[in-house]
A and B are shown apart, each in its own frame.
Chain A
Amino acid sequence: MLQIMEGSHAIAEAVRLCRPEVVSAYPITPQTHIVERLAEMVADGDLNAEYICVESEFSALSACLGASAAGSRVYSATSSQGLILMAEVVFNVAGMRQPIIMSIANRALGAPLSIWNDQQDSIALRDSGWFQLYGEDVQEMTDQHFIAYKAAERHDILLPGFVCFDGFILSHTYEPVDIPNQEDIDAYLPKYVPYNMLDAKDPISMGMYATPEYYHEFRYEIDQAMMRSAAALSEAGKEFGEIFGRDYSEHVVPYRMDDADVAFVAMGSICGTIKDAIDEMRTDGIKVGLVKIRTYRPFPEKEIAKALGGVSAVAVLEKNVSIGSAMKGAVGPEILHALNGTGIGVYSYVAGLGGRDIRKKDIRAMADLAAQGKGNMFYGLREEVL
Chain B
Amino acid sequence: MALRIGCCAPPGKAPGNKTGSWRIYLPVIDGETCTLCGNCVLICPETAIEEVEGEIVVDLDYCKGCGLCAEECPTEAISMELEEK
Q: Which residues of A contact B (CB under 8 A)?
A: 95-98, 158, 195-196, 203-211, 213-214, 217-218, 221
CB < 8 Å neighbour of B5 from A158, A205, A209, A211: A158
CB <8 Å contact, A221 and B10? no
Known A213-B16, A214-B16; contact A208-B5, beta-carbon cutoff 8 A: no
CB <8 Å contact, A158 and B3? no
CB <8 Å contact, A208 and B11? no
CB <8 Å contact, B17 and A211? yes
User: What's the Cα separation between A95 and B3 when bound, in Å?
Assistant: 13
User: What's the Cα separation between A364 and B16 when bound, in Å?
Assistant: 60
Q: Judge whether B52 is part of the interface by a CB distance below 8 angstroms.
A: no
Main secondary structure of the interface of B (DSSP, over half): loop
Total A-B contacts with CB atoms under 8 angstroms apart: 48
8 new A-B contacts at CB < 8 Å, known A204-B11, A206-B7, A211-B16: A95-B6, A97-B6, A204-B9, A204-B10, A206-B8, A208-B9, A214-B3, A214-B7
CB <8 Å contact, A221 and B16? no
CB <8 Å contact, B10 and A203? yes
Main secondary structure of the interface of A (DSSP, over half): loop
User: What's the Cα separation between A177 and B17 when bound, in Å?
Assistant: 54
Q: Which residues of B contact A (CB under 8 A)?
A: 1, 3-11, 14, 16-17
User: What's the Cα separation between A95 and B5 when bound, in Å?
Assistant: 9
User: What's the Cα separation between A209 and B19 when bound, in Å?
Assistant: 13
CB <8 Å contact, B7 and A96? yes
User: What's the Cα separation between A204 and B5 when bound, in Å?
Assistant: 12
User: What's the Cα separation between A218 and B9 when bound, in Å?
Assistant: 14
**Considering the complex of A and B, which 9 residue pairs feature the smallest CB-CB distances, nearest first?**
A97-B6, A96-B6, A208-B9, A204-B8, A208-B7, A196-B8, A97-B5, A206-B8, A206-B6
